[in-house]
Structure 1
Amino acid sequence: MKLERKHALVLIGIAVWNLVTYVTFIKNLAGTEGRPTGYYVAHTVLIIVNLLIAGVLGSWGFRAYKASRRTDVKV
């Protein structure tokens, strides 16, 4: 499957969005007190999974972007 530059930019954009929103979520979660342990466990798992997804999408996006730059070069 060949991804074009626009696909790569969408993947990178989604990865950045996930990263920004979940870093904010981490800060907000750290500021809470008095919640049950299950609350923190569930949200921590959610954060980890979404940051991993952001890493995978970002990696795919950067690889696709680099590949699209190589194919755009014309001599």
Structure 2
Amino acid sequence: MKLERKHALVLLAIAAWNVLTYLRFIKALVDTEDRPTGYYVAHTILIVVNLLIAALLGTWGVRAYKASKASQNAQV
């Protein structure tokens, strides 16, 4: 499958959105008091997994962007 620049930008946008929303989620989690330990464990796992997904999507987006740029330069 060949990814175009628009696909790369979508992947990068989703990665950035995940990072921004989960950074805010971390702040909200830190500000929360009087919750059971399981609450913090479950939400910390969610945060870690979603930040890993963001890193993966960001990596794919950067690679796709570079590949689309290289193929565009090769066509010229």
TM-score range, shorter chain: over 0.9
- Aligned-pair identity in percent equals 69
How many residue pairs match? The answer is: 75
Paired with 1:2 and 1:60, the residues of 2 have a C-alpha distance of 12
1:42 shift after superposition: 0.3
Where in structure 2 are the equivalents of 1:41-60 lying within 5 Å? 41-60=41-60
Using the alignment, how far apart are the partners of 1:15 and 1:31 within structure 2? Answer: 25
Q: With structure 1 as the length reference, what TM-score do the two structures score?
A: 0.97
Q: Would you tell me which structure has more helix in proportion to its own residues?
A: 2
2:64 is the alignment partner of 1:64: yes
Structure 2 gaps of 5+ residues are none
**Structure 2 equivalent of residue 5 of structure 1:** 5
Q: After TM superposition, give the deviation of residue 46 of structure 1 in Å.
A: 0.2
One-letter code of the match for 1:71? S
Q: Does 2:33 match 1:33?
A: yes
Structure 1 unaligned segments of length 5 or more: list them: none
Distance 1:23 1:67 in 2: 30
| Structure 1 residue 63, shift from structure 2 partner | 0.2
1: distance between equivalents of 2:41 and 2:56?
Answer: 23
CA RMSD of aligned residues (A): 0.7
